[in-house]
Structure 1
Amino acid sequence: MCYGISIYLSESDTFNKNWIEKAAKNGFQYIFTSLHIPEERDVDFIKQVKWLGNTAQSFHMDVMADISPASLERLDLGISELPSLKDWGITGIRMDYGFTAKQIAWLSHSLKIGLNASTIDEVQLKELVDEGLQVTQTEAWHNFYPKPYTGISSHSLKARNDLFHRYGIKTMGFIKGDDLLRGPLHEGLPTIENQRSTTPVHGSFELSELGTDKICVGDLNLTDQTLEAFRYLMDGIVPLYVDISEGYVNLYNSVHTNRMDAAQYVIRSVESRTKPSKWLQEIQNPTCFTKGTITIDNQLYGRYAGELQICLDDLPANPKTNAVGMVRDESLPLLKYVGSGKKFVFLNQQI
């Protein structure tokens, strides 16, 4: 899985450089930028695109630029001159509209090409291949949708991904940010409409589950806490924000592994039983351990004492088991991604 960020040339160089640097340090690998956004008419595109390419290279990040025929005028380039964008530090171009199949196929021999995954159909895709499109140099990039209720469904995205995968083309989708949301609407920039109300981490897991190969933050940035979560995610660890009871705070930042023989109703930590434990029974009054309850078996459970579990459903409370914490609401949807042999970590985000 590959992760990227979006850079908007109307933002200040200082803001953009700080975000690029922070993203690069946290494992993000590429940059998306658009050269035909209506709100960016006053940008000196030649200067800013060269600045972006140079800055991205200094942090070892690729740049994909969304272009249109109008963009070429702003850049003072013709179609035949587009390969020279590599000299500006631009890795590839997403060709949205206004270009012929022959032009796109020709350019794929010298630049990475991004097709519009949300709009191109199979007839057009076949035409591109027939014209000599280099599929190994081609990706399919979904749109993001600033206006609420205009994003596509998860079913539609999966179908589109499947189409491009049949031709050996990787796909990219956008997730929203959670710090500064881009204007003018400030409603988030996801590909899937339902992700407008979810966390970026949840959106990333969902896109991956739907077969998306690359994931890009559509908005201006992410909070430091979310960047921390993405560091774990990139290492194959599911980050769970939790509240831990006093006396058990050593569980924060601890990485666990769900058993290979994953249980139906609970996540069972392999690591929690590697050493003998004698957890004392705590007097607790709940009649039910609700979904997301973190438990540790006490000494009444004999050889199971010390086993840490997370409830995947509402379960009857047990005097042999201590409730020691709770997965926060925003992380509950991530529990389904803690499958057989999957690692997870408990994080303590300031609310």
Structure 2
Amino acid sequence: MFGFSIYLSAPITSKIKKKINRLAKAGFSGVFTSLNLPEDDPAVLLDRLSELGAECRRLRIELTVDISTAALERLSISLDKVHELTDLGVTQLRIDDGIPMPSVAELSQKMGIVLNASTISEEDISLLQENHANFENLEAWHNYYPRKNTGLEETWFDQRNAWLKENGFTVTAFAPGDSDLRGPVYATLPTLESGRYQHPLSAALNLLQNNVDNVYIGDEGLQVETAAQFDSYFRFNTLLLHANAEVNIPEYLSDGEFIFHQRPDVARDSVRLREGRSLKEGTIEPANVKERSRGAITLDNKLAQRYEGELQLIKCDLPADPTVNVLGYISPSDFGLLENCEAGQAIQLVF
């Protein structure tokens, strides 16, 4: 499952509601928000949560709320009255480490509960079992890390997730957004430090390769083009790559409708599109032969002989080759997605 974040520090305006609708249509099925905002009026926070909850209910998407014992006290909500939050549309509570495991076990009988994936211990799991927790309602979510150089290290993260899954937890982590970054640091909100400035879809796919089940976008915004890329991947398992032409390109590229596929034998330096040679029309003369920098879209010319017509997306800087024409370039913001092209991956180039 993929989700996104909406924070309650600002009103739930019609613009916000349109964004929620757009992302829900793009395939996102969960919203994350927080009530840990001590500077805001509790009544205002609950009003905004009610509006957000109503929108999530209407769209039938989950609403997970980050809550602490201090926030519950400030909102005058006790643990035995969490129905006051579920009545507002909340489906899951992400709780801090201050709530004892017996209380967590009791809460899990009533609704979905999210625990801190980084701090759950074997002792915690034993206490949950002893107190008859409903493990079907328990999940493990990692934090996001606003400050640069504080995000998690990948090897530890992967090992931690493997242990959590062995103990029956569904694991969720955060990928960065690329619009409306959250202050005061504005350095995106990822779980992994390596994902901090990655393309959001690339960061999300990398998380899924590290024993993660669900990915939420930590920041509030995704650019319209990025949301469309998520939509293309959700619905058609197709990576949509934006591109710019440098010379005249074949018609099968310019219409932007053709779906290419990476060959089953994945190359180290390039994404080889298996349909390239079969689409060749006439003789391809050498043209715009130059250094092939990362992101270059190349077409093998007649000097390549039986490879004439081969299309490649270049993953690393390569020298010029007299047998290879450079047609244009993938947009720099999409470079990271080249690394997510697996064997047989469907790819759509939009110039």
TM-score over 0.5 (shorter chain): yes
Q: Which residue of 2 aligns with 1:260?
A: 264
Q: Which residue of 1 aligns with 2:93?
A: 93
CA–CA distance in 2 between the matches of 1:264 and 1:188?
30
What do the CA deviations read for 1:188-210 (whole angstroms, capped 9, x no partner)? 22222233332322321221221
Q: Which residue of 2 aligns with 1:321?
A: 324
Q: Which residue of 2 aligns with 1:11?
A: 10
Q: How much does 1:21 deviate?
A: 1.6
What do the CA deviations read for 1:146-189 (whole angstroms, capped 9, x no partner)? 23332222223222211211112111111222111112332322
- 2:298 is aligned, of 295, 298, 309, to 295
Q: How much does 1:62 deviate?
A: 0.7
CA–CA distance in 1 between the matches of 2:151 and 2:265?
38
Number of aligned positions between the proteins: 346
* Matching residue's letter, 1:338: C
Percent identical among aligned pairs is 32
Cα distance change of structure 1 residues 135 and 278 upon mapping to structure 2, 3 Å threshold: farther
Matched, 1:337 2:336: no
Cα distance change of structure 1 residues 218 and 39 upon mapping to structure 2, 3 Å threshold: farther
Over the residues paired in the alignment, what is the CA RMSD in angstroms? 2.4
CA–CA distance in 2 between the matches of 1:44 and 1:12?
9
* Matching residue's letter, 1:257: H
CA–CA distance in 2 between the matches of 1:255 and 1:135?
42
Q: Which residue of 1 aligns with 2:286?
A: 282
Task: List gaps (5 residues or longer) in structure 1.
Answer: none
* Matching residue's letter, 1:320: T
Asked if 2 retains the 8 angstrom alpha-carbon contact of 1:10 and 1:43, the reply is: no
* Matching residue's letter, 2:266: A
Cα distance change of structure 1 residues 342 and 130 upon mapping to structure 2, 3 Å threshold: farther
Cα distance change of structure 1 residues 253 and 161 upon mapping to structure 2, 3 Å threshold: farther
Asked if 1 retains the 8 angstrom alpha-carbon contact of 2:42 and 2:74, the reply is: no
Q: How much does 1:4 deviate?
A: 0.9
Report the secondary structure of 1:118's partner residue: coil
Report the secondary structure of 1:52's partner residue: helix
Q: Which residue of 2 aligns with 1:269?
A: 273
The residue correspondences of 1:73-222 to structure 2 (distance < 5 A) are: 73-83=73-83, 85-222=85-222
Matched, 1:238 2:242: no
Q: How much does 1:20 deviate?
A: 1.3
More off after superposition, 42-51 vs 159-168: 42-51
Q: Which residue of 1 aligns with 2:29?
A: 29
Asked if 2 retains the 8 angstrom alpha-carbon contact of 1:9 and 1:40, the reply is: no
Q: How much does 1:302 deviate?
A: 4.7
More off after superposition, 141-150 vs 234-243: 234-243
Q: How much does 1:347 deviate?
A: 3.6
More off after superposition, 267-276 vs 116-125: 267-276
* Matching residue's letter, 1:110: K
CA–CA distance in 1 between the matches of 2:323 and 2:16?
54
CA–CA distance in 2 between the matches of 1:106 and 1:279?
72
